[in-house]
Chain A
Amino acid sequence: MNLLSKTIVIMAVGGGLCQLPGQVNLELGGRQIQIHGSFSEGFASSSDNNYLRMDTSHGSFFTEGGLSVSSRVTDKLRVGVQAYDRYIGELGKGKVYLDWALVDYHWKDWLGFRGGKIKTPLGLYNDTQDQEFLYTWALLPQSLYPIDLRAVSIAHLGGDIYGNIKLKRAGSLAYDAFTGTISNDPRGGYVYGVQAQGVRLSSVDLGKQSGVDLRWSTPVTGLILGSSLVYSYRGFEGSFYPASPMFSYSTTLDRATAYYGEYTRGNFRASAEYRAQTRRAEGRAKVPGNPVMLRSGSEEPAWFVSASQRISKRVEAGGYYSHYHVDLINPRVPVTGPGRDHIFDKVVTVRLDVTKFWDFKIEGHFMDGVGAPGQAHGFYPQDNPTGLKPKTNMLVIRTGWYF
């Protein structure tokens, strides 16, 4: 399908979708069942490197969508499930994922329990990162919310304890403590990043994940401050090309610490987040005694600042600066070349709300750096066989529907 015909199909589908009501409610046995959905289609074109596993240097479309069904069983008990699908170059490739599926018992305002597959609270936007319609931006700051690495951070299978504590004149504090396991996505950036280092994977083990998120609604109207701490585990087994002895890789420490804030006043919104990712790992030979072959790690400080303003009823404009830096500790292959230890992204966006349920965005990215090999963050050697260039400019056009 050529560019013009695909655009026409997208506009036709969009025209149909925007006729949908704000929500779809069904009554079953006296209970309300809510159905909500979102669908977005984007186009990315970059000047030099291919980005996010797409052929962006020649222009590439990408698609994302979700559908949720939920119901309140009693005043305190709620159940729900959401399916999610994406086709972003080699990411997702159209596979339908179980995004979340949970039982939620909200006993008191200050204490509730969730069990099942649950979105992970980390920083400002981790659990809402797929909802492009919430944001001015076509792409969230990739330093902190890389869509290629979505699978390793988006959700955990386990349980949450959460609540909201009133602090009288000091506002309120929402907390969410969780533990569970994370699942591997064979069509995700973690696997592609490992393969990019010449590893033939035999198994991937993304294990336990535990953490806590604290979000303080301050007495200053519109100001939210928060912090998250998440411990994870990652591991895999495989061998290097060409055939070599099997080895295992496992993290001994994988910790993300985030500090964030958001301020809204009228039609103005500003937000910022800093996250420190510390990782230490061991590579062991799969021979008797499992001797340690390599101890490596990384420090990956990342942050962004953003501001946006709704100019009129339908138009919003803004920009952000996204900063990602990586220091490798004892890397297997020395890192050389310009831009191999950072990605700095300056972004400007204009958003148009065509209707209440249909948005359209144009966004410019001006990126310096491509990050380190082995720390996948959008730029992959598989998509850039002639080598990565230090700078990348990219245009993103995205439209989304939701109900």
Chain B
Amino acid sequence: MVLLTGRRMRLACNILGVLICMVLPATASGIKVIANPQMNVSRVSPDDLKDIFLQTKTSLAGASHVEPVLLKSGPAHELFVQWHIGKTVTMLMNYYRSLVFAGKATMPRILGSDAEVVDYVAKTKGAIGYVSEETNTRDVKILEVK
């Protein structure tokens, strides 16, 4: 058995990290990012997606206004928040509250189930949300995160 220490260990970790990035998709597996079907967008970059949910980006090329829609809880919610926003669920909620109580934003729409998110996104111009992979998303557009 070869023991990796010091510089070799760091090198191995870096190579492993690159390989993981090459193999895994930009979207966390188990999640679909969805948008209102009227939006003239089929793809969103990870940075833009993060900014939309942090409410620092309110439009996209092909959508004059975007509105983030969140799930209230569940594995898809936790995965999305950690993978795409880079915060824990608690930190994200505190971030929103800090904006709301300072008068700098309103709380984004938070819905209780995948079906409710799909229904709201389908009906609301500019809405972008996420649901678990097995959800029926026939009425909405699926965005590629790339």
Contacts and interface: CB of A to CB of B under 8 A. Distances in A.
Contact of A66 (B87, B88, B101): B101
A256 interface: no
Nearest to A116: B103
A108 B87 CA distance: 25
Interface residues of B, number: 28
A78 B105 CA distance: 8
A286 interface: no
A119 interface: yes
Contacts of B65: 75-76
Interface in A66-93: 66, 68, 70-72, 75-76, 78, 80, 82
Interface stretch (B5-13, B14-22, B36-44, B90-98): B90-98
B101 A221 contact: no
* Chain A interface bracket (under 10, 10 to 19, 20 to 34, 35 or more): 35 or more
Interface in A84-127: 100, 102, 104, 106, 108-109, 114, 118-119, 127
Interface in A302-318: 310
A119 B56 contact: no
Contacts of A127: 102, 104
A214 to B, nearest CB: 14
A343 B51 CA distance: 40
B26 interface: no
A166 B52 CA distance: 13
Interface in A148-164: 164
Interface string B32-57: 00000000000000000001000011
B21 to A, nearest CB: 14
Contacts of B29: none
Contacts of B90: 310, 353
A167 B103 CA distance: 26
A130 B98 CA distance: 10
A82 B107 CA distance: 15
Contact of A221 (B86, B97, B110): B86
Interface of B: 51, 56-59, 64-65, 72, 86-88, 90-91, 93-94, 97-98, 100-107, 109-110, 126
